[in-house]
Structure 1
Amino acid sequence: MSSTDQLQELANVPKEFFKDGQQFMNRCTKPDKREFLKISQAVGIGFVVMGAIGYFVKLIHIPVNNILVGAA
């Protein structure tokens, strides 16, 4: 493989990347109201669940930490 072939192949990489990106953007659609609400609800539930898990971990961690520090 000659150096000009390598340069040509290297130059084609960004062209293919942008071509694929353009095709992807053309296929993407803006969500309708129902789909947006569904996604928002899922994200909201995720925030609540992760917050609850963090709260309960902290709730359990504080007394355990006090027992360990008090015993030492």
Structure 2
Amino acid sequence: MADIEKITDAPVEFMKDGARFVQKCTKPSQKEYLQLIRAVGMGFIMMGVVGYLIKLIHIPIRYLIV
């Protein structure tokens, strides 16, 4: 009987935690939203630059080896 209670308690606890999480969520202000957009944009740009630099280094090395 205890095993059945454990199995049924898990989804109930999950739903309670999910509801509590959604209640605590707030809509970001415009300032917070723009800050988030800038941070994500900078991340994309930085990852693009790193990928481009790796490709620039990799192409000549590949032709030197072959």
TM-score category (smaller protein): over 0.9
Which stretches of structure 1, 4 residues or longer, exceed 2 Å deviation after superposition? Answer: none
Does 1:51 find its partner at 2:55?
A: no
For residues 16 and 26 of structure 1, the distance between their equivalents in structure 2, rounded to whole angstroms, comes to 15
Aligned to 1:60: 57
Amino acid at match of 1:66: Y
Give the number of equivalent residue pairs.
66
* TM-score, normalised with respect to structure 1: 0.87
Structure 1: runs of 5+ lacking an equivalent: none
For residues 12 and 66 of structure 1, the distance between their equivalents in structure 2, rounded to whole angstroms, comes to 61
Q: Considering only aligned residues, what root-mean-square deviation do their CA atoms show, in Å?
A: 0.7
Shift of 1:6: 1.3
Structure showing greater Rg: 1
